[in-house]
């Protein structure tokens, strides 16, 4: 009887240890990665954008990004003069708005134009929104190692996306997204984004530099973060259409 009890105990312990050491699924990794990107209560970031033509010509933009949690984001252009005041607002339930100072009017961004580029950059309106990939894509493993997880993301059933799939590289040590490839409806690679100079600022990981390369247009957008502030207590009233005009 004692031997039976001992055997049962060993089986239970083995099952418990096995459960404790079970590898995370692709979805669990993606959710964790989203949580790392959106970890700050709020973010106030200034950055310089360098738009690079295929022939090497460059143009610069300066902007400020405000974000609360993982669902509200405002982006405002500070320079040059002809771009100053252009503002973008992203809210829950796929609500996006654009303010153009020349027209002094806020307009909602319709679904069929969310794949258009924003203010000459290589980011579409959809790209400019907050990042919650696990809510919009179904992931599966392509590769996993001690250093990196590589996931293939396909849009969830019924969700309209401009890309047929994304391929995402996630660091295994901190779950930070370091690279994303974007594929069109025919399965062709059309755009690539890479995050660089990844640092820990306070309690949060952030990339101080990232670059988006449009392979079809041979055009790049490089972003250089110059001032990063977290958890400053941004109010909900900031993330409104009224604030876009200020």
* 12-26, 33-47, 71-85, 92-106: the lowest-pLDDT one: 12-26
Q: Has residue 246 got a pLDDT over 70?
A: yes
pLDDT digits (tens, 9 = 90+) for 14-69: 544 444 557 899 999 999 999 999 999 999 999 999 999 999 999 999 999 999 99
The pLDDT confidence band at residue 198, using thresholds 50, 70 and 90, is very high
* 48-57, 119-128, 184-193, 211-220: the lowest-pLDDT one: 119-128
Q: Give the domain ranges of the chain.
A: 24-244
Q: Has residue 7 got a pLDDT over 90?
A: no
| pLDDT for the residue 117 | 92
Q: Has residue 77 got a pLDDT over 50?
A: yes
| pLDDT for the residue 8 | 53
Q: Which CATH architecture has domain 24-244?
A: Clam (2.50)
| pLDDT for the residue 112 | 84
Q: Give the mean model confidence (pLDDT) for residues 122-148.
A: 93
Q: Give the mean model confidence (pLDDT) for residues 70-99.
A: 94
Q: Give the mean model confidence (pLDDT) for residues 81-104.
A: 93
| pLDDT for the residue 168 | 98
| pLDDT for the residue 64 | 97
The pLDDT confidence band at residue 6, using thresholds 50, 70 and 90, is very low
pLDDT, the chain, mean: 91
DSSP for the chain reads -HHHHHHHHHHHHHHHHHHHTPPPPHHHHHHHHHHHHT-SSEEEEEEEEEEE-TTS-EEEEEEEEEEETTTEEEEEEEESTTTTT-EEEEETTTEEEEEETTTTEEEE--GGGTTSBSTTSS-BHHHHS---HHHHEEEEEEEE-SSEEEEEEEEPTT---S-SEEEEEEETTT--EEEEEEE-TTS-EEEEEEEEEEEEETTEEEEEEEEEEETTTTEEEEEEEEEEEE-----GGGSSHHHHT-
What pTM was computed for the model? 0.86
Q: Has residue 10 got a pLDDT over 90?
A: no
State percent of the chain over pLDDT 70: 91
């Amino acid at each position: 009887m004692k031997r039976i009890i001992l055997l049962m105990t060993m089986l239970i312990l083995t099952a418990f240890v096995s459960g404790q050491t079970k590898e995370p699924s692709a979805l669990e990794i993606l959710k964790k990665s989203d949580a790392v990107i959106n970890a700050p209560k709020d973010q106030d970031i200034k950055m310089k954008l360098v738009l690079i033509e295929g022939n090497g010509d460059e143009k610069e933009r300066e902007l400020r990004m405000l974000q609360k949690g993982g669902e509200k984001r405002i982006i405002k252009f500070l320079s040059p003069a002809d771009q100053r005041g252009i503002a973008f607002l992203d809210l829950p339930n796929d609500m996006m708005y654009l303010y153009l100072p020349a027209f002094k009017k806020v307009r909602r961004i319709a679904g069929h134009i969310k794949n258009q580029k924003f203010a000459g950059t290589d980011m579409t309106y959809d790209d400019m929104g907050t990042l919650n990939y696990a809510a919009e894509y179904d992931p599966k493993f392509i590769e996993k190692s001690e250093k990196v997880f590589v996931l293939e993301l396909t849009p969830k059933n019924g969700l309209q996306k401009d890309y047929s799939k994304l391929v995402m590289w996630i660091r295994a040590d901190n779950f930070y997204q370091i690279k994303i490839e974007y594929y069109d409806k025919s399965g062709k690679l059309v755009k690539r984004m890479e995050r660089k100079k990844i640092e820990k600022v306070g309690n949060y990981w952030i990339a101080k530099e990232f670059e988006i390369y449009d392979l079809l247009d041979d055009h790049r957008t490089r972003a250089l973060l110059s001032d990063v502030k977290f958890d400053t207590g941004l109010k909900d009233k900031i993330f409104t259409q009224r604030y876009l005009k200020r």
